[in-house]
Chains A and B, each alone.
Chain A
Amino acid sequence: MNKVRNNRAWWLILPMLALVAFSAIIPLMTVVNYSVQDVFDPHTRFFTGTEWFVQMLNDPSLQAALLRQFGFSLTILAIEVPLGIGIALLMPKRGWQASAVLILVTLPLLIPWNVVGSIWQIFTRGDIGLMGWSLREVGYAYNITSSPLDAWLTIVLMDVWHWTSLIALLCYSGLRAIPEAYYQAARIDRASRWAIFRYIQLPKLTNVLVIGVLLRFMHSFMIYAEPFVLTGGGPGNSTTFLSQSLAVMATAQFDVGPAAAFSLIYFLIILLVCWVFYTLIMNMQKDRVPGGDHG
């Protein structure tokens, strides 16, 4: 669509800008400010330059948290994206069943994140939780407070429970936007179920999947409340992710300078990954140069 060139449109943006500036720019400036200083007390501070950044990048515990974070984000994406697509394909398209399934599937998304943690804490406990108790009954020594593997798997399972719905709903609405004529044409062309998925449904889902993957990556990279309630980051540090490390550093230890430097690095990583992913997808969608042969 051709947009009208009109700089007065800034007036429409202004209220929004003022608010976002208040809640984003001012705090961010504070963070930048702290990240290059060493603060002893409100009146004593030294300029440290890049010292905190270097220190943070070399901190082994943070490096480990970063690795865990990437491992976690990639794992849940690898599970939630295909599963979400599958659910979307299974969801009924009309009638009361459609409404009912829609509401039930949406449910986990609307539960406060700490409550999600509580639900799974209750659900997985060996003594009072259905899942923990059942696993023990069948002979598996399930214990998320002592086994890092159990803790890790439980957090992944919780995230799948919590967020697959988002991907499923995005895809469901993407699928609904495909005109019936495409399915009719495919039947006439004798396409198999797989071919219909591969050449009609999946291409139409690309846009919503890009949105879904970006949202899921961002949110999984910022995950805090759920593991905080469920495992407290343990056993050991096995489920301590970046947000939790940061929160501990900033509010418990009051290491303001390093925490600020760490914050900026954290933020930049998310930006970078999102940007790279988005650019890759956009390039993939471009037409190949015409002139290739197909003999």
Chain B
Amino acid sequence: MAEVTRKGFVLRRTLLMAAYLVFVLLPIYWLVNMSLQSNSEILGELTLWPQQLTWANYARIFTDSSWYMGYVNSIIYVLMNMAISMAVALPAAYAFSRYSFIGDKHLFFWLLTNMMAPPAVFLLPYFQLYYTVGLFDTHIAVALAHCLFNIPLAVWILEGFMSSVPREIDETAFIDGYSFPRFFVRVFLPLIRSGIGVTLFFLFMFSWVELLLARTLTSTEAQPIASVMTRTQTASGIDWGTLAAAGVLTIVPGILVVFFVRHHIARGFALGRT
């Protein structure tokens, strides 16, 4: 009797979960479906899967440098941003989690407010600033601009993870004669491995998906894939097949990243603050 209701319960859970996954996957499936069709098939009769499977859309992207350089540019500034954000956020988060100093609370709060600044607010000043210092249309410009929200985010997440490491560990290491840099790299960082994994995940996520700043601060040399995609809108209408293929390719790096950090996500998504 109890066994029967339990089975019904499990079945209902599985069905609901499956329903949500279908909801998540259906639009993505449709994008993949479009990307494997020619424009004439897309615009003809609606088909649930490609009748004449074609890789032409992908071939176009991989053979045209103005297309594939969009991906390269995006990946370059995302990696730059991850490196810069990590490098400055790690010591800062350590300071916030371990020491109290003049203005620490105000500083931390101010830092967090930067995450709340709408990128649209900074469009014009950024454009002018980077133009003035000669960084316009470079990868580093976008990487620096994304620091606006990514550094506060990284400090915030890392601080949570670091605070859950007992201070005695630091003290023991110093008594054992570790210098600060050696302690930090050899002892401390391995302890917050999953925190670093989660932070990198978030840094990637927010830098990879951002469009407004990336588009505004570049024109040709460092143009991100997001703005290259607007080229599919031509006078003769939208090139749906290429747009879909380009879209599919923007999802791939995300899948790779989430695959690598999948074991840390479950524990780490609470940002060390449960």
A and B touching (Cβ–Cβ under 8 A): yes
Given the complex of chains A and B, what is the CA–CA distance between A267 and B96 in angstroms? 25
Q: State which of B148, B204, B266 has its C-beta within 8 Å of the C-beta of A24.
A: B148
Those of B88-141 within 8 Å (CB) of chain A: 88-89, 91-92, 94-96, 98-102, 104, 107, 111, 113-126, 128-129
Cβ–Cβ < 8 Å partners of A118 in chain B: 31, 229, 243-244, 247
Interface pair A7/B102, CB less than 8 Å apart: yes
Q: Is A4 an interface residue (CB 8 A)?
A: yes
Interface stretch of the complex, out of A45-53, A74-82, A94-102, A286-294:
A94-102
Chain A residue, CB-CB nearest to B117: A267
Interface pair B251/A243, CB less than 8 Å apart: no
Given the complex of chains A and B, what is the CA–CA distance between A30 and B28 in angstroms? 41
Chain B residue, CB-CB nearest to A18: B88
Cβ–Cβ < 8 Å partners of B193 in chain A: none
Interface residues of A, count at CB 8 A: 93
Cβ–Cβ < 8 Å partners of B229 in chain A: 114-115, 118
- Bitwise, A5-16 to B at CB < 8 A (1) or not (0) is 111111011011
Cβ–Cβ < 8 Å partners of B263 in chain A: 99
- Bitwise, B24-57 to A at CB < 8 A (1) or not (0) is 1111101100100000001100101000000000
Cβ–Cβ < 8 Å partners of B225 in chain A: 112
Q: Is A135 an interface residue (CB 8 A)?
A: no
Tell me the total A-B contact number using a CB cutoff of 8 A. Answer: 284
In angstroms, how far is the closest chain B Cβ from the Cβ of A250?
Answer: 5
Interface residues of B, count at CB 8 A: 94
Interface pair B92/A13, CB less than 8 Å apart: yes
Add 9 more A-B contacts to A131-B27, A246-B118, A263-B118 (CB < 8 A).
A16-B92, A19-B147, A102-B265, A104-B21, A107-B25, A112-B226, A130-B48, A222-B119, A225-B211
Residues of B in contact with A (beta carbons under 8 Å apart)? 13, 16-17, 20-21, 23-28, 30-31, 34, 42-43, 46, 48, 84, 87-89, 91-92, 94-96, 98-102, 104, 107, 111, 113-126, 128-129, 144-145, 147-148, 151-152, 155, 163, 167, 204-205, 208-212, 216, 225-226, 229, 240, 243-244, 247, 250-251, 253-255, 257-259, 262-263, 265-271, 273-274
Give 24 pairs: A residue, B residue, CB < 8 Å, sorted on A.
A1-B167, A3-B98, A3-B100, A5-B100, A7-B101, A12-B91, A16-B155, A19-B84, A19-B144, A22-B144, A104-B21, A105-B24, A111-B251, A118-B243, A119-B31, A130-B30, A131-B26, A170-B269, A170-B270, A173-B266, A207-B273, A211-B271, A247-B120, A259-B124
Leading 3 A-B pairs by shortest Cβ distance: A110-B254, A27-B125, A9-B99
